Structure 1
């Protein structure tokens, strides 16, 4: 019988940013759980996916016609899954910097991956999201959902700190159509992020989302900023 605390590495890869590992974690109360770690930092697992779904649901609710959406960060695909569940979405570009992770989603190492990536509305871009948005056609998206870290206080890579500062946030704004929305999720309150988004967009809002983690009541945060104009 497997130890309930046992972790087994399913696959691992090295990239210029360090090590990417997909682990299987056995639990006493249900099926095994897949867990993604980058450079030893927990990114997400298949057990607790409510934050990814909340990010997508909250963002989609902000725009009347979210035809074209960018998801920054593939993870294990749950944010993308929620975006694709909305029939208003015609195009979803998912930007992921780790090529190995995209491969694991495509080849079934992540079991639900192939079905998600087979959706004809999906385009996967292997790139830094900052570069991808800088190269995007101006005013071409209705939503940008940033889900590459656990927020500015819990970075997967130190270089990601730039994604929460005004210069990049202005780049994101330029890629959005009038009425378009940027949503960033954070595991903790991030007033500096809210201030940077307000400086880039003119205004920003922080939305707390209650969650229950390991028998504790916690809050995650969604930071929202909108380009002025019709939705």
Structure 2
């Protein structure tokens, strides 16, 4: 792990919402890499250095659906799942539901440098809402539903997000998926209860572990995939 002396960090943007504090920091590592880091209520959420699992969240689903024309993404983050979705020419529409309006604004105004170009894609629509409410009220159907709304059921930033990993919400995700559609859920840790719930709701579920490095510290993130 890098020493304190080898990393310089400064705050780029901060906002207070009804759910707490959202902070964007920029750090320069000892190797000279310039990294943006997102924290919510003091908890590390993601950065621009290790993005492989956010990308795989989309890639795994895109690989198993022949015609993923319509995609719903729960959680904008720093945009890497959306970026991977839009890189696929088969995608005609990508709806991203993000509850934190400041994060959307930072992506739009260039506080996150790659944000404006990404959100300028006419296939992308950003909805500032809670994912549970958005899915409950959805009138469209989707080929993919990709969820990265918290750190997973075992390491929640917001306790209210617990419902996203439970049977009623998973049932609703199944309802908005077209036949052959796929749900993928990102988790910072193995979540056997989530795996069991997805198997009960969909009749199938797959667990995929992804090894990552966070500031030279090995971690394992997990994707859970079910198909309607």
Q: What is the TM-score when the length of structure 2 is the normalising length?
A: 0.94
Q: Distance in 1 between matches of 2:23 and 2:218?
A: 29
Q: What is residue 105 of structure 2 aligned with on the other side?
A: 103
User: Who is 2:191 aligned against?
Assistant: 190
Report the aligned-residue RMSD.
1.6
- Segments of structure 1 that go 5 or more residues without pairing to the other structure are none
CA distance in 1, matches of 2:115, 2:49: 16
- The equivalent residue for 1:58 is 60
Aligned length: 225
Specify whether residues 216 and 35 from structure 1 end up closer, same or farther in structure 2 by C-alpha distance, changes over 3 A only.
closer
Aligned positions of 1:194-209 closer than 5 A: 194-209=195-210
- Counterpart of 2:131? 129
Distance 1:115-1:213 versus aligned 2 partners, 3 A rule: same
Tell me which residue corresponds to 2:227. 226
Aligned ranges 1:41-120 → 2 under 5 Å: 41-120=43-122
Contact 2:21 2:41 in 1 (8 A): yes
Pick which of 154-163 and 118-127 moved more.
154-163
Structure 2 gaps of 5+ residues are none
Q: Secondary structure of 1:200's partner?
A: helix
Change (3 A) 1:213 1:17: closer
Tell me if structure 1 keeps the 8 A contact 2:209–2:221: yes
Q: TM-score, normalised by structure 1?
A: 0.92
Distance 1:56 1:115 in 2: 19
Change (3 A) 1:38 1:94: same
SS across alignment from 1:151: coil
1:25 to 1:77, Cα distance in 2 relative to 1, 3 A: same
2-structure distance, mates of 1:207, 1:8: 34
